[in-house]
Amino acid sequence: MERSSLSSMAGPQVKTLSLRVTPERAPQMIDITDEVHRLVSKEAVTTGFIVVFCRHTTAAIRINENEPLLISDMEEFLDKVAPRDCYYRHNDFDIRTHNMTDDECPNGHAHCQHLLMGASEVVPLCDGKLALGRWQRLFLVELDRPGREREVLVQVFGGG
């Protein structure tokens, strides 16, 4: 049964799309569901899955509910887990020698928060639509600072 439905597909495809987002504050949870859906719906894939992947170590991808008070709760939660104003060796530019850039800024809290969240989510595609639950939305979570463009890859796997 499974075999025959697989072989009747037009042939698996992989397509990589990208999305750019510039956060206005940090932390900030930015709902990217509609944009991801717009990108994916242009593709011929109707059955498969997508991987939504953020190419940064201080901005995460998470699925959660878009309810304004909950978003404030979650942003506050992140600050409790790894407060911005704690001491981080990563921020101690007197001792740090690795991966230093000209515009290096203290962001140890953002890396530690990111550790709990991760860089990607997988969403099934059914009938050409994201098979998200009623309250599930895709978020880019900016953890570091505002004003920097963030790149999100949306890789589509599947067939028609």
What is the contact surface with Zn ion in residues (CB under 5 A)? 107
Nearer to Zn ion, 17 or 117 (CB): 117
Which sign does the torsion angle of CA 50, 72, 74, 132 carry?
negative
If the CB atoms of residues 80 and 89 are measured against Zn ion, the closer one turns out to be: 89
Q: How far is the CB of 143 from Zn ion (least distance, A)?
A: 10
**Beta strands across the sheet bearing 28-31:** 28-31, 137-142, 59-64
Which is nearer to Zn ion, 43 or 144 (by Cβ)? Answer: 144
Q: How far is the CB of 59 from Zn ion (least distance, A)?
A: 12
Residue showing the smallest CB distance to Zn ion in the complex: 107
Whole-number Å distance between alpha carbons of 121 and 110: 19
139 close to 68: Cβ distance less than 8 angstroms: no
Residue 81 or 131: the one with the smaller Cβ distance to Zn ion is 81
Of the candidates 15, 25, 10, 13, the one whose C-alpha atom is nearest the C-alpha of residue 153 is 15
| Shortest distance (Å) from residue 30 CB to Zn ion | 20
Q: Between 107 and 113, name the residue whose CB sits nearer to Zn ion.
A: 107
CB of 116 to Zn ion, least distance (A): 16
Q: How far is CA 149 from the centre of its chain?
A: 13
Shortest Cβ distance from residue 78 to Zn ion (Å)?
A: 16
Give exposure, 104-130, as e/b (b: 16+ Cβ within 10 Å): eebbbbbbbbbeebebebebebeebeb
